[in-house]
Structure 1
Amino acid sequence: MELAEVLRARGLRLTAQRQLVLRAVHELGHATPEQVHTAVREVAAGVNITTIYRTLELLERLGLVTHTHLSHGSPTYHAAGADQHVHLVCRDCGAVDEIDPELLRPLADRLAAERGFQVDIGHVALFGVCGKCERCGDQT
């Protein structure tokens, strides 16, 4: 369903800012609110960071974007959809990679069976050192 349809179904207006924020999230892939703000300001200089945060929260409530925490800072947003993934975050260079969530399925199933805990795989981030940094010996 498109943004306009989702908003109309909830009795909300389609605004240029909402369109720009959603487009920026799609184009950037994984982006903090600050990165979305920078991208949106290239097109609409008057949009402030508060509008970005509020719009991202609304888009998440509408199921159009989702967030995860890839560092100690701001959450990182990406488009919601069937392409759930686990994030691999390099502590050295900050690179973010994605893996198929099915790799964690045995762990998620075990946690559900033994603890009754349902893992939200779309919010999982694993931290470590990427192969490039490991080969360069840049580990701390």
Structure 2
Amino acid sequence: MSESSLAEMLRSRGLRLTAQRQLVLEAVLDLGHATPEQVHSAVREVAAGVNITTIYRTLELLERLGLVTHTHLSHGSPTYHAAGEDTHVHLVCRICGSVDEVDPEVFGPLADKLAAERGFQVDIGHVALFGVCGRTECEERRE
């Protein structure tokens, strides 16, 4: 998203574009999947005075605006990524912590079954599967 379109979106809601808001959005876009702490670290490289509370508030605002979304990939902080990305299922390695993505179609039959039998609509954008990735180091440590 360009700086001018972000500024227009914010202005239309009575808000203004601040350097911190722009930096937080850029950090999320650059990092791909990032916790607030990772966003904070990236932003501090450019603007040392930005505190973690500002990062959390800005991420919440950007999510309300529909620019970023979050999912929980561990027991810790949520992980944010651009909302404009294609929906995907997260694959999280319990050993090395890597995050990979797969097409949500892998859940098609399950989602269809849940909808038919229970009227439940799966939010694929918030699905995370935990396991062990195929890296040699991780496979060797598999329990």
**TM-score clears 0.5:** yes
Change (3 A) 1:117 1:135: same
Question: For 2:111 and 2:21, how far apart are their aligned partners in 1?
Answer: 35
2:38 paired residue number: 35
Question: For 2:138 and 2:79, how far apart are their aligned partners in 1?
Answer: 27
Structure 1 residue 19 displacement after superposition: 0.2
Question: For 1:5 and 1:72, how far apart are their aligned partners in 2?
Answer: 36
Where structure 1 has 5 or more consecutive residues not aligned to the other structure, the ranges are none
How many correspondences in the alignment?
140
Q: Secondary structure at the match of 1:131?
A: coil
Question: For 1:15 and 1:82, how far apart are their aligned partners in 2?
Answer: 24
Structure 1 residue 5 displacement after superposition: 2.1
Verify the 8 A CA contact 1:85 1:122 in the aligned structure 2: yes
Question: For 2:37 and 2:61, how far apart are their aligned partners in 1?
Answer: 16
Over the aligned positions, Cα root-mean-square deviation in angstroms equals: 1.4
Verify the 8 A CA contact 2:132 2:139 in the aligned structure 1: no
1:120 paired residue number: 123
Question: For 2:103 and 2:8, how far apart are their aligned partners in 1?
Answer: 30
Question: For 1:110 and 1:37, how far apart are their aligned partners in 2?
Answer: 41
Aligned pairs for 1:89-104 within 5 A: 89-104=92-107
Aligned pairs for 1:1-140 within 5 A: 2-133=5-136, 136-140=139-143
CA offset digits 1:53-106 (Å, max 9, x no partner): 000000001100000001110000000014111100001111100001111122
Query: Percent of pairs identical after alignment?
Result: 83
